[in-house]
């Protein structure tokens, strides 16, 4: 015999399963159109928004949103009479307030301290940076000074050798010294670097030229031709004057004067050469006119010397 | 006796020729088979899926021709070679062989050859897929004597390779395939079965939908259909005895059909 009751239970289970699946199928079938409609609406909204945004971007000017996108909010004014404000009594806990104030003050103090410390640290850092900078500049200045000193020494050595050569050539038996003013040969700055001491700038510096070569005059003339420098013309004039060739010295002094009217030496050498050639009047005329113009004491001294025939 | 108990018993799987239901497709196959027996064929193959009515056809054929022809029906397969040869000899000679003796195959062949032209014996062998290949070979040799003719049934799925073998292919001259019943066949089958025994009211209560459901479950297999209806009427019988308010005489209950399908495993809860 078949267990019909058990079979009936199984049949009930089977039926519920069938109806459940049927229900789900029907539900989905019904839901699909609603869902698709909702999705379509959402899609159209998004498209519309995108279009409006792109339009704004294209035109480059802001656009106001359409009314359909902005939900309307009705400003409902409630009946004021209906609203009753409840009386409020403020209760302050002073202890609590004090504690809060103290905490705030402590915090402020700590912050101030921190700010001060920071400032101090920054100042220190700045100081050390400046010191380092100064030290660096000093080092560089020292190096430059040393370089200049060496260069000057080299120059002096060269000059000495040139002088030797000149003296040997023009005055083989007599050693003659050429006086050179410190101010004209070296700048005051250069002299300061050389000695590192206070130099009396008024005092003339004597530099001895030793002629070591017989070719001094041609070399100097060649140099003059190359540079057309008044200083070199004066040197040539001096050399001729020392050598006793006053005609040539007069001529070279004039050349130097033509190149540099303010060169005092050219004036003096010209006058002295004239005097040596027996043209004392002319020499005095020249010196007086120069003295009138410049009020040079050296010119006055030379005038006196020519007048007293001490040259 | 309960009405539903009687109906239930109608669908018991029996090979009683009284229960045979004449269907259009079945009657055609039956005619072909009957005509084939008159032809000088050595072997006739009747094959189809289980429950297509092979055994029923053989039973009906045997019952129809047992008076007219020298016909023998082995409804159950005889698997032992000794027993098989003994049965063949006994059927042909109408002699009983003692238990301690056995039939020599060569002797049987000579016996058949001697009777050539005099006799035309038909053997109906059911469930031949269970026979060994050796035995099938011997059946073939016996059929070669042209004295013995075999009608064999095979399950379509099981031993199709035996039929495919060359030596069998050449000898099986007639192949009759029995197919599963269609929905219409099934309706006719059920209704005829019920009306034959006078249950016209019940036969009319079974709707086309009910038949379709039964066919969907059983796939037109007669054996399965019988089983299905047996259980369905069993449930009816229960309700008739315990809850008669749950059954209606004019309409076949779908619930009971579904309960049957659940019971037989066609549906799952």
Beta-carbon separation of A4 and B259 below 8 A: yes
With contacts defined as CB-CB under 8 Å, which chain A residues touch B267? 14
Among residues B246, B207, B236, the alpha carbon closest in space to that of B10 is found at B236
Q: What token pair was written down for A207?
A: 């530099």
What pLDDT, on the 0 to 100 scale, is given for residue A24?
94
Q: Is A7 on the interface with B (CB under 8 A)?
A: yes
pLDDT of residue B169: 64
Which residues of chain B lie closer than 8 angstroms to A20, CB-CB? none
Nearest to A7 among B242, B263, B268 (CB): B263
Burial of residue A80 (number of CB atoms within 10 Å: 0-12, 13-18, 19+): exposed
pLDDT at position B45, please? Answer: 87
If you measure CA to CA, which chain B residue comes closest to A17? B269
Cα atoms in the Cβ-side hemisphere of radius 13 Å centred on A158: 6
Domains of chain A, CATH where assigned:
118-214 (no CATH), 228-311 (1.25.40.10)
Are A4 and B235 an interchain contact pair (Cβ–Cβ within 8 Å)?
Answer: yes
CB contact under 8 A, A14 and B255: no
Partners of residue A15 in chain B, C-beta under 8 Å? 258
- Residue A171 is predicted with a pLDDT of 55
Structural domain boundaries of chain B?
A: 3-14+182-264, 24-178
Please tell me which residue of chain B has the smallest CA distance to A13: B269
pLDDT digits (tens, 9 = 90+) for A164-177: 888 776 655 544 45
The backbone torsions φ and ψ at residue A132, rounded to the nearest 5 degrees and listed phi first, read -60, -40
Residues of chain B with C-beta less than 8 angstroms from the C-beta of A14: 258, 262, 267-269
Question: Could you tell me if B230 lies within 8 Å of chain A, comparing CB atoms?
Answer: no
pTM greater than 0.80 (yes/no): no
Residue B258 with chain A: CB contacts under 8 Å: 11, 14-15
Tell me if A2 and B234 make a contact (CB, 8 A cut-off): yes
Is A20 an interface residue toward B (CB < 8 Å)? no
Residue listed under structure tokens 């779908």 = B254
Q: How many residues does chain B have?
A: 269
Query: To the nearest whole angstrom, how far is the Cα of B258 from the nearest Cα of chain A?
Result: 7
> How many other C-beta atoms can be found within 10 angstroms of the C-beta atom of residue B69?
16
Please name which of B160, B237, B155, B178 lies closest in space to residue B57, comparing C-alpha atoms: B178
Q: Which range among A163-177, A230-244, A263-277, B213-227 shows the weakest confidence by mean pLDDT?
A: A163-177
In angstroms, the CA A216 to CA B155 distance is 144
Residue of A nearest to B259 (CA): A11
**Cβ separation of B269 and A11 shorter than 8 Å?**
yes
Dihedral sign, Cα of residue A247, residue A185, residue A305, residue A170: negative
For residue A219, name the pLDDT band (cuts at 50, 70, 90): confident
- pLDDT confidence of residue A53: 79
The answer to whether residue A84 scores a pLDDT higher than 90 is: no
Instruction: Give the pLDDT band of residue A128 (cuts 50, 70, 90).
Output: very high
Mean pLDDT score across all residues of chain A = 79
* Beta carbons of B263 and A14 less than 8 Å apart: no
Going by C-beta distance under 8 Å and a sequence separation of 6 or more, which residues neighbour residue A51? none
Residues of B whose CB is below 8 A from A5: none
A2 at B interface, C-beta within 8 A: yes
Fold of B24-178: Rossmann fold (3.40.50)
Measured between alpha carbons, how far is B256 from B238 in angstroms, rounded to an integer? 11
* Nearest residue on chain A to B5, alpha-carbon basis: A1
ipTM of the complex as predicted: 0.75
Is the pLDDT assigned to residue A189 strictly greater than 50? Answer: yes
Whole-number percent of chain A with pLDDT over 90: 42
* B177: three-class secondary structure by DSSP: strand
The residue behind tokens 């302050």 is A92
Nearest CB to B238; choose among A4, A15, A17: A4
Provide the CA A283 distance to its chain's centre, in angstroms. Answer: 56
Q: Does residue A72 have a pLDDT over 80?
A: no
Residue of B63, B66, B59, B52 lying closest to B176 (CA atoms): B52
Q: What are phi and psi of B47, to 5 degrees?
A: -140, 160
CA distance B259 to chain A (A): 6
Place of tokens 């057309």: A228
Say which residues have a Cβ less than 8 Å from residue A297's Cβ, sequence separation at least 6: none
Answer whether residue A221 shows pLDDT above 90: no
- Tokens 């190096």 locate to A143
Q: Report the gap between the CA of B260 and the closest CA in chain A (Å).
A: 8
pLDDT of residue A190: 53
Low-confidence ranges of chain B (pLDDT < 70): 1, 13-19, 157-172
Which of A2, A4, A13 lies closest to B269 in CB terms? A13
pLDDT for B165: 56
DSSP-derived pairing of the beta strands B172-178 and B43-48: parallel
Residue A194 has a pLDDT of 46
Task: Answer whether A11 sits within 8 Å of B234, measured CB to CB.
Answer: no
Contact with chain A for residue B258, Cβ under 8 A = yes
Give the pLDDT confidence score for residue B29 in this predicted structure.
87
Assess B261–A contact: CB distance below 8 Å, yes or no. Answer: no
Find where tokens 């011997």 sit.
Answer: B138
**What's the start-to-end Cα distance of chain B, in Å?**
34
């Amino acid at each position: 015999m078949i267990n019909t009751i058990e079979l009936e239970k199984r049949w009930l289970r089977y039926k519920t399963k069938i109806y459940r699946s049927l229900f789900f199928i029907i539900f989905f079938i019904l839901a699909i159109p609603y869902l698709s409609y909702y999705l379509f609406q959402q899609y159209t909204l998004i498209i519309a928004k995108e279009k409006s945004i792109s339009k704004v971007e294209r035109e480059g000017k802001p656009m106001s949103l359409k009314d359909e996108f902005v939900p309307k909010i009705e400003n409902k004014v409630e009946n004021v009479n209906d609203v009753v404000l409840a009386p409020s009594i403020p209760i302050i806990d002073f202890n609590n307030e004090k504690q809060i104030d103290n905490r705030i003050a402590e915090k402020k103090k700590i912050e101030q301290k921190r700010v001060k410390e920071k400032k101090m640290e920054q100042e220190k850092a700045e100081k050390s940076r400046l010191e380092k900078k100064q030290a660096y500049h000093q080092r560089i200045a020292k190096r430059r000074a040393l370089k200049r000193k060496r260069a000057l020494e080299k120059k002096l050595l060269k000059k000495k050798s040139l002088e030797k050569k000149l003296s040997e050539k023009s005055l083989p038996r007599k050693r003659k010294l050429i006086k050179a003013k410190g101010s004209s040969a070296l700048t005051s700055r250069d002299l300061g670097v050389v000695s590192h001491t206070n130099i009396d700038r008024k005092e003339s510096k004597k530099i001895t030229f030793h002629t070591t070569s017989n070719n001094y005059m041609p070399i100097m003339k060649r140099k003059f031709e190359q540079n057309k420098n008044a200083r070199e013309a004066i040197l040539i004039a001096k050399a001729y004057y020392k050598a006793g060739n006053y005609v040539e010295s007069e001529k070279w002094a004039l050349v130097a004067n033509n190149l540099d009217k303010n060169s005092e030496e050219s004036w003096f050498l010209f006058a002295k050469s004239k005097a040596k050639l027996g043209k004392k009047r002319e020499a005095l005329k020249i010196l007086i006119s120069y003295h009138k113009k410049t009020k040079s004491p050296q010119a006055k001294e030379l005038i006196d010397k020519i007048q007293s025939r001490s040259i | 006796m309960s009405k539903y108990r009687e109906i239930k018993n109608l669908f018991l799987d029996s090979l009683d020729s009284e229960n045979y239901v004449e269907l259009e497709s079945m009657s055609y196959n039956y005619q072909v088979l009957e005509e084939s027996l008159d032809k000088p064929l050595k072997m006739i193959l009747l094959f189809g899926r289980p429950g297509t009515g092979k055994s029923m056809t053989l039973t009906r054929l045997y019952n129809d021709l047992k008076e007219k022809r020298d016909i023998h029906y082995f409804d159950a397969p005889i698997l032992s070679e000794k027993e098989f040869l003994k049965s063949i000899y006994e059927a042909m000679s109408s002699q009983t062989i003692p238990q301690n003796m056995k039939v020599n195959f060569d002797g049987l062949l000579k016996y058949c050859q001697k009777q050539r032209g005099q006799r035309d014996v038909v053997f109906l062998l059911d469930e031949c897929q269970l026979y060994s290949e050796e035995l099938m070979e011997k059946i073939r040799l016996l059929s070669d004597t042209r004295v013995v003719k075999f009608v064999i049934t095979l399950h379509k799925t099981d031993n199709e390779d035996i039929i495919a073998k060359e030596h069998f292919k050449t000898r099986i001259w007639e192949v009759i395939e029995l197919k599963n019943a269609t929905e219409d066949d099934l309706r006719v089958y059920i209704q005829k079965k019920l009306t034959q025994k006078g249950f016209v009211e019940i036969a009319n209560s079974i709707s086309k939908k009910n038949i379709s459901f039964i066919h969907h479950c059983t796939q037109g297999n007669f054996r399965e259909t019988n089983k299905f209806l047996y259980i369905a009427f069993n449930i009816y019988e229960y309700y008739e005895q315990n809850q008669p308010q749950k059954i209606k005489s004019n309409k076949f209950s779908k619930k009971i059909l579904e309960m049957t399908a659940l019971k037989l495993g066609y549906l799952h809860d």
